[in-house]
Structures are given as structure tokens and as C-alpha cells.
Amino acid sequence: MFTGIIEELGRIRSIEKRGEGVRVTIEARTVAEGTREGDSIAVNGVCLTALEVKKDSFAADGSRETLQRSTLGALRAGSFVNLERAVTPATRLGGHIVQGHVDARGRYLSAEDHGGSWTVRVAYPQELARYLVFKGSIAVEGISLTVAALADEYFEIAVIPKTWAVTNLSHLRPGDAVNLEADIIAKYVERILSVGGVQAMEGRQPGAPGITREKLAELGYE
């Protein structure tokens, strides 16, 4: 699990095709420190397993599923990538809960400079629309961000100078694909509010009544 607070801007050293997957080697010092082989590191929001860890780099394998769902397959030697090590019990949750499980690819549209801060516009696929809300959380390239404006086909995020400086947002160009992960809490709420989800949580048989006003009152929601 991650928080979406990027620790380091790494750089792709090499990408080697292995069957239908790839092995990627990434130049990094901060996230390599204290990392052991088998630990999880988010690369542009994709949870990968660290291999061949050295003081200035690590490697990771990407499966066919990962390549199809994320932008990992589009990376090239020299590409900049956002890096974050998995949280520990003592980690401050400065962003929001990010799993590193990319839901879909969006498209970077533009960035408007406001003299030190930026408004970034990102197009999203319609299957994510139900998880996006104004002032809600969204992970873009693994960065925990807040939806500042929401339209039918795109959302906007406000980016402060620190985020602009330490992530790959400043290296994106209009039309570039970006990894998107919706807030896991929204997914759980959707599942709970579905008839099947309520029944599963309460151990009831299919066909039994779902959530009602009476049930909510019984649970203390007036």
C-alpha cells in the first residue's frame, strides 16, 4: 500500500522484453536505500516487486496484464518515473490510500501555469466516472491529487510547485497516456451499496432486502 506522496523522480536505465512481459531497470537512490529484494515500489503508480537492488538502482518485472492496463509498456530508456516505497506502520498518510493497482489509462491534456502553480487537465475513460467527485482523491501516475474541477470527459487538478518539481508531471506532453487509480474507498462504498454486497456483508441469502431507511435508522443513521 502507498500514500501517493512521491519520494523520488527516477529514470529508466533499460527495458528488456521477456516473453510477453518486460524487465525494467530504474536509476534511483532514495528508494533503493533500505529496500530489499521482494519489497514493493510504486513506479508511476504501478506496484512492482524490487529485484536486483543496488545502491543506485533496482529492477522489476512487468507482466502482460500490467503492460496492457498501465503505461509501463510505453516507457523507454531515459523516461522519468515517479517512485514511492510501500508504507510502514509508522508512515504518515500524507496523501490517500493508494494500492498501486492501476484502473485505467487516462490522457494528459494540458497544464496551465499560474505563476508557480499549475492547473493540469486529464481526460479519463467513462468507466472511472462513477468514482470521481469534486474535491475527491485520484492517483495520477501514482501521485495523490485532489479533483479541483470535474467535467464529463476530463478532470482538473491543482499542482503546487513542490509536486511539479519532484514528479514527472512537468515532463508530460499533451496526448501522453497516464496511469489512473480511483479511490479504493469509493469502490468499497459502491460494492456495499449494491444488493449483492450488502447481502454478502450481512450473511444474507440472495433475494433478501437491501439497504432501507429502516435499516439505516437501526444502524444509527438518522
Average pLDDT of the chain to the nearest whole number: 90
Of the chain, the percentage scoring pLDDT greater than 90 comes to 78
Residue 111 CB: number of other CB atoms within 10 A? Answer: 19
Q: How far apart are CA 37 and CA 59, in angstroms?
A: 9
In order of start, what are the domains of the chain with their CATH numbers? 8-85 (2.40.30.20), 104-184 (2.40.30.20), 186-218 (no CATH)
Burial class (CB within 10 angstroms; exposed 0-12, middle 13-18, buried 19+) of 56: exposed
pLDDT in tens, 58-78: 999 999 999 999 999 999 999
> Is the model's pLDDT at 208 over the cut of 70?
no
pLDDT of 202: 57
Give residue for cell 529485484: 51
Amino acid at position 222, single letter: E
1-21 mean pLDDT: 95
pTM reported for the whole predicted model: 0.85
Instruction: Give me Rg for the CA atoms of the chain.
Output: 19
> Is the model's pLDDT at 207 over the cut of 80?
no
pLDDT in tens, 140-157: 999 999 999 999 999 999
Written in H, E and C, the secondary structure of the chain is CECCCCCEEEEEEEEEEECCEEEEEEECCCCCCCCCCCCEEEECCEEEECEEEECCEEEEEECHHHHHHCCHHHCCCCCEEEEEECCCCCCCCCCCCECCCCCEEEEEEEEEECCCCEEEEEECCHHHHHHCCCCCEEEECCEEEEEEEECCCEEEEEECHHHHHHCHHHHCCCCCEEEEEECHHHHHHHHHHCHHHHHHHHCCCCCCCCCCHHHHHHCCCC
Amino acid at position 62, single letter: G
pLDDT of 192: 81
Residue 67 contacts by C-beta under 8 Å, 6 or more apart in sequence?
A: 20, 21, 22, 73
Give the residue with greater pLDDT, 89 vs 27: 27
Q: How far apart are CA 105 and CA 123, in angstroms?
A: 9
Q: How far apart are CA 62 and CA 74, in angstroms?
A: 12
Give the residue with greater pLDDT, 177 vs 186: 177
